[in-house]
Amino acid sequence: MASLKDLKIRINSVKSTQKITSAKKMVAAAKLRRAQEAAEAARPYAERMENVLTGLGQAVVDQPGGSPLLIGTGKDDVELVIVAGSERGLCGGFNTNIVKAARVHIVERLAAGKQVKILCIGKKTYALLRRDYGEMIIGQKDMSGVKSLGFADAQPIATELMDMFERGEFDVATLFYSKFQSALTQIPTKQQLIPVPLLSAANDEEPADELGGASYDYEPDEASILEDLLPRNVAVQIYRGLLENAASEQGASMTAMDNATRNAGEIIDKLTLVYNRTRQAAITSELIEIISGAEAL
């Protein structure tokens, strides 16, 4: 049986843990709103970009000599898997879930005899992947200095990606991130970045209908616009992934910390009960000693 002093120490330690988790919960709740707004504000651009690309892509996809960003390098031997996670812990299963999804994909590719390279964004996914796939990790992007995520933060990653692609270091790039649905649900998502996946046949007729049969005039021409647009699209998709991730992280953190705070509360209640019982037992035995001592006289 633990002594009164031991119990007191444990209660105090759980109490201070609870203070930390409840503070983190509050911080996450405040940050969540901002992150969510940012993620939602960025959606229109990404959606319109997708529309434009689909329209343009269909116009040039059948022509020979199209950009490898659009039609691919013609093989899929080397795949770059980008795993975006968070910089900090205390966010429940957020990073684990993303890594789990990425792991399934990596195992699948490896089983198919392909080569896999991994790029980690954020400290936590790196820590999780390092042990099993250490030799495949080609880099880790540190986002800890980033206070509020801007497009300028996604751009360098995209530029690096483009350089690597041009040097022929990979054929396909896939991004793993967590899509924000609500504070309770975040969906680990896989998205192919390169080559750009075109929305397929279902949208085929839409652009034509919208224009009432007319076709776009391109200035300068389709190819040069695409050349400019495709690299930007990569950056936009990464940016969107990072924004969704930021919102998801805060959501996951809030939920996890809420649970942790509640658990801590339960433990404190239980320990307090034990503490009081022990105290009472000590008092009772002392009383018995005194009374029986007095009776013996």
Partner 1 sequence: MTDSLKFELVSPERLLKDMQAVEVVVPGSEGDFGVLPGHAPVMTALRPGVVSVTASDGDTAERLFVKGGLAQVGVSGLTILAEEAMDMDGIDADELKQKLADTREDIEDAEDDVEKARLIGELEWMTALSEALAA
Positions touching partner 1 (CB under 8 A) are 38, 41-42, 44-46, 48-49, 52, 56, 150-151, 210-212, 214-220, 224-225, 228-229, 232, 235-236, 239
Which is closer to partner 1, CB of 244 or CB of 258?
Answer: 244
How big is the chain, counted in residues? 297
The smaller minimum CB distance to partner 1, of residues 106 and 157, is found at 157
Amino acid letter, residue 259: N
| 194 membership: H or E segment, kind and range | strand 186-194
Q: Closest separation between CB of residue 228 and partner 1, Å? A: 6
Q: Which is nearer to partner 1, 17 or 155 (CB)?
A: 155
Pick left, alpha or beta for residue 148 (phi over 0 → left; psi -120 to 50 → alpha; otherwise beta).
beta
Least Å distance between CB 39 and partner 1?
11
Q: DSSP secondary structure string, 131-165? A: HHHGGGEEEEE--TT-SS--HHHHHHHHHHHHHHH
Please, what is the Cα angle at 180 between 179 and 186, to 5 degrees? 80
- Does residue 91 carry a catalytic annotation? yes
Q: Which of 70, 91, 106, 260 is catalytic?
A: 91
Q: How far is the CB of 180 from partner 1 (least distance, A)?
A: 16
Nearest approach in angstroms of CB 126 to partner 1 is 26
Residue 224 or 285: the one with the smaller Cβ distance to partner 1 is: 224
Q: How far apart are alpha carbons 36 and 254 in whole angstroms?
A: 13
The end-to-end CA distance of the chain, in Å, is 33
Token couple for 72? 């691919």
Q: Minimal distance in Å, beta carbon 206 to partner 1?
A: 11
At 119, is the secondary structure helix, strand, or coil? strand
Q: Which residue has the tokens 């690309």?
A: 53
Reading the block at residue 21, the tokens are 């988790």
Nearer to partner 1, 7 or 235 (CB): 235
Per-residue b/e over 66-95, b at no fewer than 16 CB within 10 Å?
bbbbbbebeeeebbbbbbbbbeeebbbebb
Q: What is the distance between the alpha carbons of residues 262 and 266, in angstroms, rounded to a whole number? A: 6
Catalytic positions? 91
